[in-house]
Amino acid sequence: MGELSFPGQQGVSRSISDTPPTHYIFKLQLFSQLVNSKLESYTSNDFQAGGCKWKLVLHPNGNKNKGITDHISLYLVIVEPNSSAPAWEIRALFRLFLLDQNNDSYYTLQDTAENGRRFHKMKLAWGFDKFIPLDAFKDAANGYLVDDTCVFGAEVYVCQETIAGKGECLSMIKDAIAYKHTWRVDLSSSSTEEYVESKPFAAGEHKWKIQLYPNGKGSGIGSYVSLYLTLAEPANLPPESKIYAEFTLRILDQLNRKHYFGTSNYWFRSSTSTSGWPRYVSQGYLYQPTTGLLVKNICLVEAEVKVHGVAKAL
């Protein structure tokens, strides 16, 4: 173990370790795609250590809320315990890791606060605003970013307990392709149904459906048409997996080609497999003959889906 030459930070110990992190490993493929995406940060899946659940939050371009632009920012966050107690706190010692793939060793940062850091309801996160300078991270000679892939990790000790860890791999997709699917909806035959949905279609190696609620859903009931994109087979997606997709839902203007659309980004999981708008378009606007959105009770709904990344358990 040896000290690194990066500028020091108060309360932070930097070192090199030959031992991999005990509790969690987070591998990130195509790091450049994450940097160039619309995500300012990425939150890992939960992992257990010391009888508690934790997660890592990575800011690949630095934590802009802290004014950091020239370093990677990395934080340990506790998942609030499912407890009825009005107050709780956990003291933990922790180290965060970055793999040097050239030397098969780990660059580590450890918080040197005596007796560990205090995690509680008003302070869920501790970590390092300046985990590593971006220029040092991207320098191929250092081995931290090899073939656009990097590996982070964590060790967390609460009352000296240790629990076997798990990990995940986030694979960002380079040059993601936008897939389009057009769905012909006959509202004359579906106006009495709660919702109608398209046949499954493929986009980014996953199957999707469009759902349309003619009389609205949730806050849109009675006055709006609700429109959603959903995974067609959410039960087939493992609980630890998630899909980051950018999508646009359009109702095509069949007369003037002034299409009505909404665009969003969402992490799709088996437990949260649907995203869209309860107030997508007012019924009054949809049924106006001059808008061209509904012609002879037929509307054409188009989904454009681009999958930017997939996270899976290691």
The C-alpha atoms of residue 16 and residue 99 are separated, in whole angstroms, by 10
Q: Which residue has the tokens 């067609």?
A: 232
pLDDT of residue 158: 87
pLDDT of residue 244: 97
| 95 Cα distance to chain centroid | 23
pLDDT of residue 50: 85
- The pTM for the full model equals 0.69
Report residue 116: phi and psi, to 5°.
80, 175
Q: Which residues lie closer than 8 Å to 306 by C-beta, 6 or more apart?
A: 176, 177, 178, 179, 203, 204, 245, 246, 247
The C-alpha atoms of residue 266 and residue 268 are separated, in whole angstroms, by 6
Structural domains in the chain plus CATH codes: 12-172 (2.60.210.10), 178-313 (2.60.210.10)
pLDDT of residue 164: 46
Q: Which residues lie closer than 8 Å to 249 by C-beta, 6 or more apart?
A: 210, 227, 228, 229, 261, 262, 276, 277, 280, 301, 302, 303
Q: Which of 113, 122, 55 is nearest to 88 (CA)?
A: 122
pLDDT of residue 3: 39
Which residues are 220's β-sheet partners?
none
Amino acid letter, 313? A
Low-confidence ranges of the chain (pLDDT < 50): 1-5, 84, 160-164
SS3 of the chain: CCCCCCCCCCCEEEEEECCCCCCEEEEEECHHHHHHCCCCCEECCCEEECCEEEEEEEECCCCHHHCCCCEEEEEEEECCCCCCCCCCEEEEEEEEEEEECCCCEEEEEEECCCCCEEEECCECEEEEEEEEEHHHHHCHHHCCCECCEEEEEEEEEECCECCCCEEEEEEECCCCCEEEEEEEEECCCCCCCCCEECCCEEECCEEEEEEEECCCCHHHCCCEEEEEEEECCHHHCCCCCEEEEEEEEEECCCCCCCCEEEEEEEEECCCCCEEEEEEEEEHHHHCCHHHCCCECCEEEEEEEEEEEEEEEEC
pLDDT of residue 57: 97
The C-alpha atoms of residue 247 and residue 190 are separated, in whole angstroms, by 25
Q: Which of 75, 270, 60 is nearest to 172 (CA)?
A: 60
The C-alpha atoms of residue 105 and residue 18 are separated, in whole angstroms, by 5
pLDDT of residue 1: 34
CA angle centred on 198, ends 195 and 204, rounded to 5°: 130
The C-alpha atoms of residue 54 and residue 165 are separated, in whole angstroms, by 11
The C-alpha atoms of residue 226 and residue 151 are separated, in whole angstroms, by 41
